[in-house]
Amino acid sequence: MLAIHPNARTTPAVRAEIARSSEASSVLARRYGVSAETIRKWRHRGPTDCRDRSARPHKLPWRATDEERAIVCALRRSTGFPLDALTFVVSHFLPHLNRDSVYRILKAEGLNRLLPSEQARKPHGIFKDYEVGFVHVDVKHLPKLRDRDGVTRKRYLYVTIDRASRFVHLAVKDDETAASAVAFLTEALGAFFLPGHPSAH
């Protein structure tokens, strides 16, 4: 069945007539009540291509860099958070990524569905057995990617999660040294004790 746009002013049969006609574009435009540009479009396509095409772009542009996509995927694997919780965490560090962006990143990497082992962790699994202040720290190796300055290098994602509140703090660092770990923990403690966090009360 031929696809016809609901607002189309021409049918596939009329478009085929336009494509085969040798009359001037201005004459055909007045006859069919369309613009000369529309006449030229159907003539260019020819009589065998008279159906409407999808307006959806063939390739949707990413709003995230390769490194940012790697961070989202590493967080998913590390935390097992469902989409909304993961988006909440990501938006604090990568505010230009919304829920749709995060979902598209996960789907592209085959991470859009939680594994059964990860589903068991939500929404109130082992986290409720801990008091506020008990944190889990993890370091994930990010793939060797080009950063915003065009430099290709390996980087590391540091993640800490408060097991009770599920508050997450993360940072991307250039190495996996003790100095970087200490610096990250210092940053995390500062974030955990900000006003509004359960640990601050």
- Domain ranges in the chain are 12-45, 66-200
Evaluate whether 87 touches 105 at the Cβ level (below 8 Å).
no
Average pLDDT (99-107) is: 91
Short-list 92, 60, 77, CA closest to 157:
77
pLDDT-derived band at 102, boundaries 50, 70, 90: very high
pLDDT above 90: percentage of residues in the chain: 5
pLDDT-derived band at 183, boundaries 50, 70, 90: very high
Instruction: Give me the pLDDT at residue 179, please.
Output: 92
Longest Cα–Cα distance of the chain, Å, equals 82
Better-predicted residue by pLDDT, 82 or 144: 82
| 3-class secondary-structure state, position 141 | strand
| Range from 20-24, 163-167, 174-178 carrying the lowest mean pLDDT | 163-167
Rounded mean pLDDT of the chain?
78
Provide the β-strand partners of residue 173: 156
Better-predicted residue by pLDDT, 31 or 10: 31
Evaluate whether 170 touches 157 at the Cβ level (below 8 Å).
yes
Average pLDDT (48-63) is: 67
